[in-house]
Structure 1
Amino acid sequence: MDIQKLKAFVELTETNSYTETAEHLFTTQATISKQIMSLEKELGIKLFSREHRTIEITDEGELVLEYAKQIVALKDEMYEKISEHKREHSLDLVIKTIPSISNYHALELISEFHQAHPEITLHLSEAESYELIPALQNGSADAVFMRIFDMDESEFEVASGEEDKFVVVVPKQHRLAGQTAVTMQDLKAENFLMLGKETNLYDPVMKLINQAEFTPEVIYEGR
């Protein structure tokens, strides 16, 4: 029995839409339809009733669904265990970093480590900041380089290598350009260009602004 047919069946029971199911499984609506029909033929039952362009699971389909979910879940668990076993018994090192890693000394350390240990296969890739902690938690990364603000460090071993500071960037002719220090109150009437909410730099900046008790005029959010 093709596991993909069961996966399509389980997904279709959740979406009740061939179009959405195809999108979720990165295939076509026609492929999903063929997989369901093939599964019905293989099992000798009707999994769905199709009346008035609506999809409704049959009693026989409900019976199959219970087992299909278990089979799909076990398949995913098996592949996860295999990947975990490979990682534990191989000399692969997976490191994920923030996109601006080139601005930090960490990149030099990684390069030096790679040259000193050619026996280890290094997999280095960039990821958005919100993806890094989940990568550690689900085992898809062995180590990450990221910025730390108010993170609970009890779950991980953390080594701080460098320290960043927030700065304000203004045009040379701006009224604040000649000052050696700027307070948040000085910026109350200014337009803000900031990194977006999906980055982990947004909340700390907003926290400083909230402490200064004003609502910023954000005219641009970027990544």
Structure 2
Amino acid sequence: MELRQLKYFLAVAEESNFTRAAERVHVSQPGISAQIRQLENSLGTTLIDRSGRSAGLTAVGEVAFHHARAVLAAVEALRHAVDEMNGLVRGRLVVGMVTACTVTPLFEALASFHLAHPGVEISLVEDDSAKLVDYVREGTVDLALIGAAGRAPEDLDGQQVISEAIVAAVPPGHPLASEDGVTLAELSAYPVICLPKGTGIRAVLDQASAARGLTPTVALQASAPGAVVHLAERGLGVAVLSESMLAQHPQLRTVPITDADIAAVLALVSAPTKSPALRELLVHCQDSFGAPADKGLVSAGKTAAD
């Protein structure tokens, strides 16, 4: 008795026809007939009633059908279990992260995963959030830490880890330094320094401004939040970042943007279909990031939802 014979037997039983069954399993009709004859000979009984126009099951065939299906299901489960273990022993993961990422829980998750599964190769890709989302959709990146406006893309699985407001930041002596808040309309009177398009922070600024019929005057942009801060410190414009990005820069005065009502979100995103290695990495990410945070999973105040 061979597994392929059981497979052919199930195909004939389900199709009630040798020709259709042969087409389904991609063998010739004489070939499938011969294999089922061999199966019947090995069992010492007839499984298929060939007397009518259709190929029906004999009484013994009915019993054999259920057992054959259970055997093939068990073989498939065995193969799946072995593939899962091999995936954790010899797998490969591509992890994307926003440019200038210093979110330490991600690095901690990668380190703990590598310690537990040293055979899985990990590659890192840095890019802006919009491109990382495309890479996850294409399947070239397995998991990505991205910034977004309001929420992570709905077509991807996501774990939100930060949700916070964008704010303006200016050096002492700037006209906004003494204000308790600034509107987007008031902000548009000044040159703005921000992250580039494709980042979560910039998406929040652009979307919130567009909702009020405004276009922010972005005079300078830099991919690293720290560079935005340094440019603002030198009086080249008003920095627009998230609150946690500015936490370690007391030399700038933080001014709330009172009508920017879209949150800057930092999230881990992955495609719905996941390899065994990716499922395991997500467990480590959950342990490292913990429950979704409202503020600041940021190292050195450099990166939040960018």
Normalising by structure 1, report the TM-score.
0.51
Within-5 A mapping of 1:46-85: none
What residue in structure 1 maps to residue 187 of structure 2? 187
- Residue identity in the other structure for 2:219: I
The 3 A distance-change label for structure 1 pair 130 and 188 is closer
Instruction: For 1:143 and 1:172, locate their aligned partners in 2 and report how far apart those are by CA, in whole Å.
Output: 41
Instruction: For 2:105 and 2:211, locate their aligned partners in 1 and report how far apart those are by CA, in whole Å.
Output: 32
Within-5 A mapping of 1:204-215: 204-215=204-215
- Residue identity in the other structure for 1:222: A
- Residue identity in the other structure for 2:132: L
Within-5 A mapping of 1:42-191: 90-103=90-103, 105-149=105-149, 153-191=153-191
- Residue identity in the other structure for 1:107: F
Provide, for residues 144-164 of structure 1, a one-character-per-residue CA deviation record: whole Å limited to 9, x for no partner: 111132567443211112224
Gaps of 5+ in 1: 1-85
Instruction: For 1:132 and 1:208, locate their aligned partners in 2 and report how far apart those are by CA, in whole Å.
Output: 22
Instruction: For 1:101 and 1:152, locate their aligned partners in 2 and report how far apart those are by CA, in whole Å.
Output: 18
Of all paired residues, the percent bearing the same amino acid is: 22
What residue in structure 2 maps to residue 45 of structure 1? none
What residue in structure 1 maps to residue 202 of structure 2? 202
Instruction: For 1:216 and 1:148, locate their aligned partners in 2 and report how far apart those are by CA, in whole Å.
Output: 18
Tell me which protein shows more strand as a share of its residues.
2
The 3 A distance-change label for structure 1 pair 150 and 162 is closer
Max Rg structure = 2
Instruction: For 2:103 and 2:180, locate their aligned partners in 1 and report how far apart those are by CA, in whole Å.
Output: 24
What residue in structure 1 maps to residue 276 of structure 2? none
The 3 A distance-change label for structure 1 pair 176 and 154 is closer
Query: Secondary structure at the residue paired with 2:220?
Result: strand
Instruction: For 1:195 and 1:101, locate their aligned partners in 2 and report how far apart those are by CA, in whole Å.
Output: 13
Instruction: For 1:218 and 1:153, locate their aligned partners in 2 and report how far apart those are by CA, in whole Å.
Output: 25
CA contact (8 A) 1:195 1:221 kept: yes
Provide, for residues 68-97 of structure 1, a one-character-per-residue CA deviation record: whole Å limited to 9, x for no partner: xxxxxxxxxxxxxxxxxx989942121111
Normalising by structure 2, report the TM-score.
0.39
Provide, for residues 136-194 of structure 1, a one-character-per-residue CA deviation record: whole Å limited to 9, x for no partner: 22221111111132567443211112224312121111122244433323313211122
Gaps of 5+ in 2: 1-85, 224-306
Instruction: For 2:111 and 2:89, locate their aligned partners in 1 and report how far apart those are by CA, in whole Å.
Output: 23
CA contact (8 A) 1:101 1:107 kept: no
The 3 A distance-change label for structure 1 pair 180 and 171 is same
- What RMSD in Å do the two structures reach over aligned CA positions? 2.9
State the structure with bigger RCO (CA 8 A, min sep 6), 1 or 2.
Answer: 2
The 3 A distance-change label for structure 1 pair 167 and 217 is same
The 3 A distance-change label for structure 1 pair 100 and 180 is farther
- 1:102 is displaced (CA, Å) by 0.9
